[in-house]
Structures are given as C-alpha cells and as structure tokens.
Amino acid sequence: MKTRGRLSSAKSVSIPRNWRGDLERVLISSDELSSRTRQLARQIQRDFRGRDLVVVSLLTGTVMFLADLIRYLTLPLHLDFIGVSSYGAGTESGQLVFTKELRLNVRGRDVLLVDDILDTGKTLSRVRAKLRTLKPRRLRICVLLNKKSRRVEKIDADYVGLRFPIIS
C-alpha cells in the first residue's frame, strides 16, 4: 500500500541567519517533516504488526530520517545497515560499490528498506536486487523524498513521505 504526502506552504518558515547566504527558501518545515514521518510510521505499524521486522537503512544520508522514523515506531524491530557508495562523473550515479554488508540474516523475514531520497532509482534498485538474493519473506521500501521525474530505473517506494518537485 502506498502513501503519498502533500505539502503545505513553508513560506512562513524563516531561514536561520547563518544560512541565509546559502539558502533561498525553506521548502519543507520541520513540523511538516515530523508530521509525515509520524504518518509513515503509523502505516508501517499497521502493515507489519505481528511480523518479524528487520529495518535496513542505507548509510549515511538516511540516518536522520531513520532516527525520526524508528522513534515513532512502537513495534518490535531489528535494525541493520547497508553501506553503498557510487563512483562516477559528477553527481550522477556511477558504479555502485557495497561498503558495508548486512550483519543480520534476513532470510524469511519481513524487511523494510529505508532511504532518504528516491531519485534516479539506480542505487535503490541495485540494493533491492542484492537484498532479494538474501530471500526475505517480504521486502518493502520507505523513502522520505520521492523525485519521480528523475527516475531512470523501474522502481517505486511502498511508503513515501513527500513528493518532488514542490511547487510553491
């Protein structure tokens, strides 16, 4: 089941003085982020209630979102991390190298893969393929931000916090 968030305007959020030279405006307020993260947690709890849940997070950009998400989850879970690094020209995803492997055995277990941004889909599609070889019972994807307009791989998230672009 997919959840998708809509944003209200963050125009009333002021930019901290020391960031004003670097930022034009705030697109998402901290209240909006918190609210959407709580909503995602509620949906995940409904879908995984009574299951043996393993949350697998991509390192390292996802850590702040992950911390907020699992803070709102009240169901028992196991947590592991997978490290990936993309090497290539510019900011485009190049060759993906796995820098940290899972420590937990996910065979026959429900796995929730958590990432901060689903953009081109190159990284998540490769990580998903790798996790599938480990034979989880069920594999779902949760992302904070979805940039579907930039997608080049066929992959979607099951739980989406916010969609981009934001038009305000």
Helix (H) or strand (E) holding 80: strand 77-87
> One of 68, 110, 116, 119 is an active-site residue; which one?
119
Query: What domains are there in the chain, each with its CATH number?
Result: 22-163 (3.40.50.2020)
Q: How confident is residue 149, by pLDDT bands cut at 50, 70 and 90?
A: confident
Omega within 30 of 0 (cis) for the link into 60: yes
**Is a pLDDT exceeding 50 seen at residue 9?**
no
Q: Determine whether 119 is an active site residue.
A: yes
56-103 tens-digit pLDDT: 999 888 999 999 999 999 999 999 999 998 765 555 556 888 999 999
| Cα–Cα distance for residue pair 113/102, rounded to 1 Å | 12
**Is a pLDDT exceeding 90 seen at residue 16?**
no
52: Cβ contacts below 8 Å, ≥ 6 apart: 78, 109, 110
Q: Where are the alpha helices (DSSP H) in 73-167?
A: 122-132
Q: Collapsing DSSP states into helix, strand and coil, what is residue 150?
A: helix
For strand 138-146 and strand 95-100, is the pairing parallel, antiparallel, or unpaired?
Answer: unpaired
**Is a pLDDT exceeding 70 seen at residue 105?**
yes
